[in-house]
Chains A and B, each alone.
Chain A
Amino acid sequence: MARRFLLPLLELVAVLFLVSIGVFLLLSLVPGDPAIAVLGEGRTPQEYDALRAQLGLDDPLLTRYGDWLGGVLHGDLGTSLVPPQTDVLDRIARAFPVSLELAVVGLVMALVIALPLAMWSAYHQGGRADRAISAITFGLLSMPSFLIGIVLIAVLVNTLGWFPRNEWVRPGESLTGNLSHAFLPALTIALMEAAMFTRILRNDLVTTLHEDFILAARARGMSPLRIMVSDALRPSSFSLVTVLGLSIGRLVGSTVIVEYLFALPGMGKLVIDAANQGNYPVVQGAVLVIAGVYVGSNALIDRTYGLLDPRTRRAHA
């Protein structure tokens, strides 16, 4: 038991620790003076120096890292350097749900699109439908994601007026308002991910469909749909599940373009804005959270392999 849960937890802590060091070092190399960012330009050098001293920017790197880590361990991610000088944790707490919602809704939509497409494609392997689906998914993958977003906005918002244009609505304020805002950005993400999922799952399905146990299932008189869902899908979904795990982590932190396009106050926008301003406490805190989601979702995915394939389950005496 200890081995199953403690080890991944230790792994998670170790990865987060390494990530935090990496981010800290990288940020110290980034040009841009936080003092200028905070005070604006046109002050006297003394004023800047005073602020740097106050922020502890003159201290050695190790001391600064130590201070920051000490805060993190007490649940304090520091304060934003740039006004509004709020708690970093609060900033993240506002941005994170937006990105998470986007990622989760986007991935669910992607699966809803990809599963039937992949099954249809694999069943008609080499046929017209398979080739068409392959061409379309390949086209989507080779297109930059913002292009899909721009097209969606142009058609569904500007021309047809099906979706609202105004500011992001939090689910607490109005659930329908929130969902109608989340739909298009989620769809933009979903189309890209669905294209990838379809290709991955289709290829694994094609391999599985050549297995003897599929022929044996046919010989038992099972219908093609039943064989696809009940016999072929599960043994074919390992690559898909792996990629899905990576996607959750990736989408939470790097849907910047989509967030900008749809004016969403998510994690991507938070990190980019903060990095541009030299607002390193925000960047560090946000990256730490994104890394946590990444490692956490992959640890979760590792658990699901056992559910997918009984042969990988460890025997418990």
Chain B
Amino acid sequence: MTTDVNAPHVLEVEDLRTVFHTPRGDVHAVDGVSFSLAAGETLGLVGESGSGKSVLGRTVMGLVASGPRTTVTGRVRIGGRDVHALKPAERRRLWGPEVAMVFQDPMTSLNPVKRVGTHLTETLRRHLGCSRTEATERAVDLLRQVGIPEPARRMGQYPHELSGGMRQRVVIAIALACDPRLLIADEPTTALDVTVQKQILDLLASLVAERTMAMVLVSHDLGAVAGRTDRVQVMYAGRTVESGPTRPVFDVPAHPYTDALLASIPRLDNPPHTLLRTIEGNPPDMARPPAGCRFGPRCAFVTDQCREAQPEAAVVPGGRAVACHHPLSRSILEGAGDGR
């Protein structure tokens, strides 16, 4: 893997917590998450809907920040700067040149009454101070880089005149406009046709590699994350349940939740008529999380210990960490130091 301990981290997240104050009570959407990312490194953030991964992505960027109905604690450093300690105007200066986001649904994340080109040129002019003609040239070039045919003509079109895949390419071009060091892709292929999904993921992977950008790929699609990320972080109910290099984690999952997620993917090498395993129940109501391990109520291996104490993340060899009282593959835990 490309992790270099000495490389300065593009992104450092320390014990990040996002709490939404709702009439139903406090919702702990992100509940103590830590990780870091070096230049050129990609991290997959996986979990079911409602596991807090999108909120995590937005909190990392600072789009979700402390306010009347939200409290963010912990620390996010992008390029060494504490995102949540910055004034709003200073934070906006990061959005584009330092960190950018690719959104889930290209049908709704482009302004329907704004030309494709305007989305790009206004971003370029805001951050890089380009002249009108310079911004137009760069915008055309960006559209070409994301594989849009006839980029000059597309500039004058409106989003509804483009297909879903083309629109997501535009969204990617916008995110890349100011050469960010960190790209957060929030379910970038969920709203797209299956045939287009792979194209978009490959495009993202190649663009990230070209520019040695760091990327956080948020997805509930384990297949999307599997081949295209260096490390993976499995989220459940606002917490990290398992993390580590993508390949080993997916080959030999240690957390029952990771295992269950992997077992629920249809595979070509399954014999015909194999019943797909599903995870019973739904993620917990985050205004009233269960006591002890949050996955406990849905876990096949639940014990009294799980119902009482919340498991802390135990660091295991190979850069992996698991938050479980009864990890599945004991072999990988050898030398973990807690004797289990």
Chain A residues in the interface with B (C-beta under 8 A): 211-213, 215-223, 226, 230-231, 234-235, 308-311
**Contact between chains at B114 and A231 (CB < 8 Å):** yes
**B93-101, B296-304, B305-313, B332-340: which lies at the A interface?**
B93-101
User: Cβ of A230: which chain B residues have Cβ within 8 Å of it?
Assistant: 114, 122
Q: Which residues in chain B, 64-104, are within 8 Å of chain A measured between CB atoms?
A: 89, 92-96, 100-101, 103-104
**Cα(A211)–Cα(B159), bound, Å:** 15
Least Cβ–Cβ distance between B227 and chain A, in angstroms: 27
Beyond A212-B105, A218-B95, A231-B111, list 15 extra A-B contacts (CB 8 Å). Answer: A211-B108, A212-B108, A215-B63, A215-B109, A216-B101, A216-B109, A216-B110, A219-B95, A222-B123, A235-B111, A309-B113, A310-B158, A310-B160, A311-B112, A311-B160
User: Cβ of A235: which chain B residues have Cβ within 8 Å of it?
Assistant: 111-113
Residue of B with least CB distance to A216: B109
**Contact between chains at A219 and B160 (CB < 8 Å):** no
**Contact between chains at B105 and A221 (CB < 8 Å):** no
> Would you give 27 A-B contacts (Cβ < 8 Å), ordered by A?
A211-B108, A212-B103, A212-B108, A212-B109, A213-B109, A213-B110, A215-B63, A215-B103, A216-B171, A218-B63, A218-B92, A219-B100, A219-B103, A220-B119, A220-B126, A220-B174, A221-B92, A221-B93, A221-B96, A221-B123, A223-B92, A230-B114, A231-B114, A235-B111, A310-B158, A311-B112, A311-B158
Residue B61 at the A interface, CB < 8 A? yes
Q: Which residues in chain B, 149-179, are within 8 Å of chain A measured between CB atoms?
A: 158, 160, 171, 174, 177
Least Cβ–Cβ distance between A236 and chain B, in angstroms: 10
| 8 nearest A-B pairs in the assembled complex, by CB-CB distance | A221-B95, A212-B108, A216-B109, A221-B92, A310-B158, A213-B111, A221-B96, A212-B109
**Cα(A219)–Cα(B174), bound, Å:** 10
User: Cβ of A308: which chain B residues have Cβ within 8 Å of it?
Assistant: 113
Residue B127 at the A interface, CB < 8 A? yes
**Of A218, A220, A234, A235, most B-chain CB atoms within 10 Å:** A220
User: Cβ of A217: which chain B residues have Cβ within 8 Å of it?
Assistant: 111
User: Cβ of B96: which chain A residues have Cβ within 8 Å of it?
Assistant: 220-221
**Cα(A215)–Cα(B55), bound, Å:** 13
Least Cβ–Cβ distance between A310 and chain B, in angstroms: 4
Interface of A is mostly: helix
Chain B residues in the interface with A (C-beta under 8 A): 61, 63, 89, 92-96, 100-101, 103-105, 108-114, 119, 122-123, 126-127, 158, 160, 171, 174, 177
Least Cβ–Cβ distance between A172 and chain B, in angstroms: 41
User: Cβ of B104: which chain A residues have Cβ within 8 Å of it?
Assistant: 212
With A212-B105, A215-B103 in contact, do A221 and B127 touch (Cβ < 8 Å)? yes
User: Cβ of A221: which chain B residues have Cβ within 8 Å of it?
Assistant: 92-96, 123, 126-127
Residue of A with least CB distance to B64: A215
Residue of A with least CB distance to B119: A220
Least Cβ–Cβ distance between A194 and chain B, in angstroms: 25
**Contact between chains at A219 and B111 (CB < 8 Å):** no
Least Cβ–Cβ distance between B92 and chain A, in angstroms: 4
**Contact between chains at A213 and B160 (CB < 8 Å):** no
**Of A212, A219, A231, most B-chain CB atoms within 10 Å:** A219
With A213-B108, A311-B158 in contact, do A219 and B113 touch (Cβ < 8 Å)? no
With A212-B103, A215-B63, A230-B122 in contact, do A310 and B113 touch (Cβ < 8 Å)? yes
Least Cβ–Cβ distance between B183 and chain A, in angstroms: 11
Least Cβ–Cβ distance between A279 and chain B, in angstroms: 49
Least Cβ–Cβ distance between A126 and chain B, in angstroms: 8
Least Cβ–Cβ distance between B97 and chain A, in angstroms: 8
Least Cβ–Cβ distance between B176 and chain A, in angstroms: 12
Least Cβ–Cβ distance between B102 and chain A, in angstroms: 9
Least Cβ–Cβ distance between B32 and chain A, in angstroms: 25
**Cα(A234)–Cα(B108), bound, Å:** 16
With A212-B105, A310-B160 in contact, do A220 and B123 touch (Cβ < 8 Å)? yes
**Cα(A213)–Cα(B110), bound, Å:** 5
User: Cβ of A220: which chain B residues have Cβ within 8 Å of it?
Assistant: 95-96, 100, 119, 122-123, 126, 174, 177
**Of A211, A213, A230, A231, most B-chain CB atoms within 10 Å:** A213
**Cα(A235)–Cα(B108), bound, Å:** 13
Least Cβ–Cβ distance between B275 and chain A, in angstroms: 37
**Cα(A215)–Cα(B103), bound, Å:** 9
Least Cβ–Cβ distance between B182 and chain A, in angstroms: 12
Least Cβ–Cβ distance between B201 and chain A, in angstroms: 20
Residue of B with least CB distance to A211: B108
**Cα(A219)–Cα(B95), bound, Å:** 6
**Contact between chains at B112 and A216 (CB < 8 Å):** no
Least Cβ–Cβ distance between B18 and chain A, in angstroms: 16
**Cα(A183)–Cα(B111), bound, Å:** 39
Residue of B with least CB distance to A237: B113
User: Cβ of A215: which chain B residues have Cβ within 8 Å of it?
Assistant: 63, 103, 109
**Cα(A230)–Cα(B126), bound, Å:** 13
User: Cβ of A223: which chain B residues have Cβ within 8 Å of it?
Assistant: 89, 92
Least Cβ–Cβ distance between B123 and chain A, in angstroms: 5
**Contact between chains at A219 and B108 (CB < 8 Å):** no
User: Cβ of B111: which chain A residues have Cβ within 8 Å of it?
Assistant: 213, 216-217, 231, 235
Residue of A with least CB distance to B69: A126
Least Cβ–Cβ distance between A273 and chain B, in angstroms: 47
